[in-house]
A and B are shown apart, each in its own frame.
Chain A
Amino acid sequence: MAAGVATWLPFARAAAVGWLPLAKKTMPKPPVDKKSRNDEILFVNVSGLRFQTWKNTLDRYPDTLLGSSEKEFFYNEDTQEYFFDRDPEMFRHILNFYRTGKLHYPRQECIQAFDEELAFYGIVPDIIGDCCMEEYRDRKKENQERLAEDTEAENATDTPLPPHSTSRERLWRAFENPHTSTMALVFYYVTGFFIAVSVIANVVETVPCRPPKGSKKDLPCGEKYTLAFFCMDTACVLIFTFEYLMRLFAAPSRCKFMRSVMSVIDVVAIMPYYIGLVMPENEDVSGAFVTLRVFRVFRIFKFSRHSQGLRILGYTLKSCASELGFLLFSLTMAIIIFATVMFYAEKGTKGTNFTSIPASFWYTIVTMTTLGYGDMVPNTIAGKIFGSICSLSGVLVIALPVPVIVSNFSRIYHQNQRADKMRAQQKVRLARIRLAKKGTTNAFLQYKEEGGFQGRGSDNALCLKNRSSFEHQHHHLLHCLEKTTNHEFTDELTFSEMCMTESVGYRTSRSTSISSQQGVATSCCPRRAKRRAIRLANSTVSVSRGSVQELDTLQVHKTSAGPQSSRSSLNARTEDLKLNCEDRDFTAAIISIPTPPANTPDESLPPSPAIPGILRNSRPTSFTHETVKISSL
């Protein structure tokens, strides 16, 4: 919608005639437009392809290369045209942006080439229209990820170590990437071997071996060869502990390492052994101890350091977690419904298996997944009917639409992402609009500060000239509005300060530090005003009487990039003007003037210089950065 604001400006200015009979003050003079108002056709030659367009079309976006005077650098006197040595195919899209206000992303173009063209012509990619924005974002993200992967791969593997790395860094690299040195490789394979040994030992432990001589019962091997298994376990745990401690030592960020998944798995793998050592051979706790031994199976997950595939699987599951959760939830709902129904249907039967609803869960799951173990069967007619409905719905719910569900989830997932993307886009767009609005306001206030209306000395003239005629006219319009209402535009900071001064009642003294007010709320908060009043009272007491002004602190703070730029900010591009108009705001803080409070100025007095003691944004009028001239009284 920001397209062609320049087109409507003459209309808005014409409509200002409606304010004339109401104006409280006289209207300011309009800016003189020295350029000829005749529209002309410009020729733009892009690598041989000649484009023609109205000058007005290009002037719509004064922030870009083609809309500003920057294009004069490319003007070819001999052929009377603007020559750009760039891609002519892409230029078509750029020019269409000027014509229609919407930037489209051509799908067959490379995203990086497109970005480069946009950067050359000074167009911010955020302006891409809704129709093409998603595609653009997706391609961009893909590209970035690919680049990131490439750089990661480059950095990680085969680059030689920096010469002066400590042994700790070398150790860490050896662990992360075993192919760097032979030692690392050896260690990698050794740990892999021991993981395998440990897992196999866990498995074999439970296999029944031939009983020792003299006994009839079959014994699990673990109990027959206790010592052997114990030794093997100890050896494995020693290796794992050693490995874990080495990693912990070598990790560049120990906290981060300890929180990572792999280290948690390591800890879980070795903990049971130590706990088993510590725990006494007590009957009561041995049950818990047995449970702990289950955790030894987690050692198999240590293989994921050795296998890329496992890691990818884990990552996929993690990213699909929400879909799986939803699937599980809907299944749970169905299970609960059917279990309840089956329970109440079978309630009357004697000796029934359906003793409770949770007990019926088992039946429902087995039936719905079409397993049908047959350990629980309904006996009543109602139970059989519902049981058959359950199994049919199980077929429908699980077996048939699994592909449909999978694709649905894929679609929902993308849609959700799209909704998030849209929301993010919306936020970005709103932020950009707000920024543009602020920029316009700030440009106007800056214009006023520089004495644009009074037309002061020659050192300001250079600053002022850098505004486009659009800005001149827009500022004139805003100035007319100010004169109509006899109020002035200010920025939020000054406004909130004035709120406080007025509520305190001191028109002529102020004692607040401005730099701490960056985030101050713009609503006049009476509580805050009261607090400030107390501080004010305390500070003015300490100031000497008489008409002495004291400058307490001068603070320079750089304003945030874009908005203070003196170009109109439909594009919100930041550029430094190389002249003395630096983007700095010098705000003077803490001036207290102990003039008698009876001297309250009339509200209808003309603006800043006449009001004593109130300092607003002052500008450096000399060419250096350091000296500051502050106008007061």
Chain B
Amino acid sequence: MPPASMLIILELFCSSCKDSVEDELELSAARHRPEALEQLEAQTRFSRKELQILYRGFKNECPSGVVNEDTFKEIYSQFFPQGDASTYAHFLFDAFDTDHNGSVSFEDFVMGLSILLRGTVQEKLNWAFNLYDINKDGYITKEEMLDIIKSIYDMMGKCTYPTLKEETPRQHVEIFFQKMDKNRDGVVTIDEFIDCCQNDENIMKSMQLFENVI
């Protein structure tokens, strides 16, 4: 047989071997064991029992120990059947994935939940600011806010009362910036945000709403 064809055959064989080896590596990397229970207890504000319940649920859903973005989007979309929750889920995923490695492990999950459910008002507002700040540069621009708000309106879907208009998200952004952007420089910084929210009664009251979720 001519040597060229042998080489081609060998290459094909090797590449298929490589793929399987890579797959195996990928699989083993995807399996993730969380830190010990005591450590998590120290780092979060959940009790031991609560952590146990959370982990059992988490592990049952994601036996490999991590959630990737697609699974996350699927899960989140199930709660909003009328609209399209994938964009907002993407932002949410980025907010939870604090180390930005493309997957949410149990630690990320439980730390996020700890802030949201048991954190101080300051921490919660910090978290919300982090969610809105898509590129994580410390400033919320109008474009970022528009993206976030559009994604929230997307979750409502089409069949709403009153009907969603094109300008509604933009108007919402304007209202938000009018309220929050004190020095009118077109961006909202973390201090402006926290200041303004602490002065707003409604927001303060509603922060207590989700305490008893777990």
Contacts and interface: CB of A to CB of B under 8 A. Distances in A.
Interface string A1-32: 11111011111111111111111101101100
Q: Which 4 residue pairs of A and B lie closest in terms of their CB atoms, listed nearest first?
A: A437-B81, A495-B159, A7-B57, A14-B116
Q: How large is the interface on A (under 10, 10 to 19, 20 to 34, 35 or more residues)?
A: 35 or more
B156 A481 contact: yes
A17 B128 contact: yes
Main SS of the interface on chain A?
helix
A15 B205 contact: no
A24 B60 CA distance: 37
B159 A30 contact: no
Interface in B123-176: 124-125, 127-128, 131-132, 148-149, 152-153, 155-164, 168, 172, 175-176
Interface in A523-561: none
A440 B83 CA distance: 12
A13 B213 contact: yes
Interface stretch (B4-12, B20-28, B70-78): B70-78
Contacts of B49: 38-39
A489 B160 contact: yes
A478 B160 CA distance: 12
Interface in A147-170: none
Q: How large is the interface on B (under 10, 10 to 19, 20 to 34, 35 or more residues)?
A: 35 or more
Given A15-B76, A56-B57, A100-B60, 6 more contacts: A3-B61, A20-B124, A23-B203, A26-B202, A437-B82, A481-B80
Main SS of the interface on chain B?
helix
Given A7-B60, A22-B172, A99-B60, A37 B76 contact: no
Contacts, number: 156
A16 B210 contact: yes
Q: Output the residue of B74, B80, B148, B213 with the most chain A CB within 10 A.
A: B213
A281 interface: no
Interface in A486-525: 487-492, 494-495, 498-499, 502, 522
A581 B29 CA distance: 52
Contacts of B157: 489
Contacts of B148: 22
Nearest to A100: B60
Nearest to B201: A26
A26 B156 CA distance: 17
Nearest to A37: B214
Nearest to B63: A100
B92 interface: yes
Interface in B154-210: 155-164, 168, 172, 175-176, 193, 197, 202-203, 205-207, 209-210
Contacts of A481: 80, 152, 155-156
A474 interface: yes
8 contacts: A10-B213, A20-B207, A27-B206, A30-B209, A39-B53, A438-B81, A487-B161, A603-B162
B117 interface: yes
B205 A26 contact: yes
Contacts of A488: 160-162
Nearest to A437: B81
Contacts of B156: 481-482, 485, 487, 489
A605 B122 CA distance: 33
A263 interface: no
Q: Output the residue of B152, B155, B161, B214 with the most chain A CB within 10 A.
A: B161
Interface in A178-213: none
Given A20-B206, A481-B155, A54 B56 contact: yes
A11 B116 CA distance: 9
B66 interface: no
Given A4-B57, A14-B117, A485-B153, A20 B161 contact: no
A494 B113 CA distance: 37
Given A20-B207, A487-B156, A489-B159, A15 B92 contact: yes
B170 to A, nearest CB: 13
B202 A495 contact: no
A436 B77 CA distance: 13
Contact of A8 (B61, B149, B155, B210): B61
Interface in A206-244: none
A498 B60 contact: no
Nearest to A33: B212
B74 A474 contact: no
Contacts of B74: 1
Contacts of A340: none
Nearest to A11: B113
A443 to B, nearest CB: 10
Q: Output the residue of B56, B158, B206 with the most chain A CB within 10 A.
A: B206
Given A3-B61, A16-B210, A22-B152, A498 B162 contact: yes
Nearest to A502: B163
A304 interface: no
Contact of B163 (A21, A29, A495): A495
A568 to B, nearest CB: 11
Interface string B49-73: 1000100111011000000000000
Contacts of A485: 152-153, 156, 168, 172
Contacts of B78: 1-2, 5, 8
Contacts of B197: 21
A19 B152 contact: yes
B116 A474 contact: no
A23 B128 contact: no
Q: Output the residue of B76, B92, B127, B156 with the most chain A CB within 10 A.
A: B156
A24 B205 CA distance: 14
A6 to B, nearest CB: 9
Contacts of B80: 478, 481
B160 A20 contact: no
B57 A18 contact: no
Contacts of A314: none
Nearest to A3: B61
A68 interface: no
Nearest to A614: B161
Nearest to B129: A21
B124 A17 contact: yes
B61 A9 contact: no
A615 to B, nearest CB: 13
B152 A13 contact: no
Given A17-B127, A54-B56, A24 B159 contact: no
Contacts of B127: 17-18
A287 interface: no
Contacts of B159: 489-492, 494-495, 522
Nearest to A494: B161
A5 to B, nearest CB: 5
Contacts of A27: 206, 209
Nearest to B164: A487
B79 interface: yes
B56 to A, nearest CB: 7
A441 interface: yes
Contacts of A37: 214
Contacts of B214: 10, 37
Q: Output the residue of A11, A14, A490 with the most chain B CB within 10 A.
A: A11
A8 to B, nearest CB: 5
Contacts of A5: 75, 78-79
